[in-house]
């Protein structure tokens, strides 16, 4: 029983002293009805909280997956931007960028060994990148 219910019951019981038997019975019935309604409201709130918690748990994997995918795409976009912003690498069009966690994989063809090394250097300095796998081939 909650503190609120107990307070109501004590208030009603205290009023019994100055009430007639009929009034006391009515007050007792009202107290029982109020307690029943409070218990029912508590059960409804608990049921709704349980339902929402279940839905939240069911949505968590989707949310985590979406967040992970968004992070992966953002890292790939930053890597592509780093390659595009490097003056010496702007002409690289055959380079593919993929990510798996914090690892970036570069693949495709470049015309010079310097471009291969420069591409790896440009991407490895990005925040969130811990490893670069450089599969670039020199033509």
Q: In which residue are the tokens 């349980």 written?
A: 50
Q: What confidence tens digit (pLDDT) does each residue in 107-126 have?
A: 988 888 898 898 899 899 88
Give the residues across from 133 on adjacent strands. 105
Please provide the distance, in angstroms rounded to a whole number, between the alpha carbons at the two ends of the chain: 80
Give the rounded percent of residues in the chain with a pLDDT score beyond 70.
72
Measure the CA–CA gap between 16 and 29, rounded to whole angstroms. 12
DSSP state of 78: H
Q: How far apart are CA 132 and CA 101, in angstroms?
A: 11
Residue-wise pLDDT for 8-45, tens only, equals: 666 666 665 566 778 778 888 888 888 888 778 777 77
70, two tokens: 């968004």
Question: Would you say residue 4 has pLDDT above 60?
Answer: yes
> Is 72 or 61 the better-scoring residue by pLDDT?
72
Domain segments of the chain as ranges: 3-138
pLDDT score recorded for residue 104 = 92
Q: Is residue 64's pLDDT more than 60?
A: no
């Amino acid at each position: 029983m909650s503190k609120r219910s107990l307070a109501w019951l004590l208030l009603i019981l205290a009023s019994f002293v100055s009430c007639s038997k009929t009034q006391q019975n009515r007050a007792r019935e009202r107290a029982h009805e109020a307690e029943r309604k409070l218990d029912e409201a508590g059960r409804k709130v608990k049921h709704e909280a349980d339902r929402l918690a279940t839905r939240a748990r069911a949505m968590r994997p989707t949310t985590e997956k979406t967040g992970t995918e968004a992070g992966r795409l953002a890292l790939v976009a930053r890597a592509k931007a780093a390659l595009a912003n490097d003056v010496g690498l702007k002409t690289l069009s055959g380079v593919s960028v993929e990510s798996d966690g914090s690892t970036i994989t570069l693949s495709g063809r470049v015309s010079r060994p310097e471009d291969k090394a420069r591409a790896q250097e440009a991407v490895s300095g990005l925040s969130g990148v811990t490893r670069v796998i450089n599969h670039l081939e020199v033509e």
